[in-house]
Amino acid sequence: MVKLLKPIDAAVAAFALCGTIYAGLVVYGGARTQAQVSVKSAGRAWVFPLDAEETVVAPGPLGDTVVEIRGGEAYILRSPCANQTCIATGRIRKQGQWVACLPNGVFLSVEGGENGELDAATW
């Protein structure tokens, strides 16, 4: 003998199905976040969209580090540190990339972004 679903059983199943679909849309179908550049220095922080055109003068114990955000890239333009490794690191544009001037305590990173994909250098 085949037993049919009672109305309350059908309502609970429909509710569960709707909840599952809604959760999937929230988690996987949400708007993509825009990539942002985060600059941190001496207790201060700045956040700009990666497509901004900005110059940030970040103070540190050795002096000012100048950070440029131009053309969808961010980089350290000038720094008072001795070895200039932060400048030689070059431009960053993808989520997870970063540049640091350790002697002057300045940290520059790209967060968020279209697809959030990681590249081999991130690992």
Per-residue pLDDT of the chain (123 residues; tens, 9 = 90+): 556 668 888 788 888 888 888 888 777 776 557 899 999 998 899 999 999 999 999 999 999 999 999 999 999 999 999 999 999 999 999 999 999 999 999 999 999 865 545 555 544
18-28 pLDDT, tens digit each: 888 888 877 77
Strand segments, DSSP code E, in 1-123 are: 36-41, 44-49, 54-60, 63-70, 73-78, 98-101, 106-111
Report how far Cα 121 is from the mean position of its chain's Cα atoms. Answer: 16
Question: What's 14's DSSP letter?
Answer: H
Whole-number Å distance between alpha carbons of 52 and 39: 13
2-19 pLDDT, tens digit each: 566 688 887 888 888 888
**Residue 12 identity (one-letter amino acid):** V
Query: What is the pTM for the complete model shown?
Result: 0.66
Report how far Cα 85 is from the mean position of its chain's Cα atoms. Answer: 23
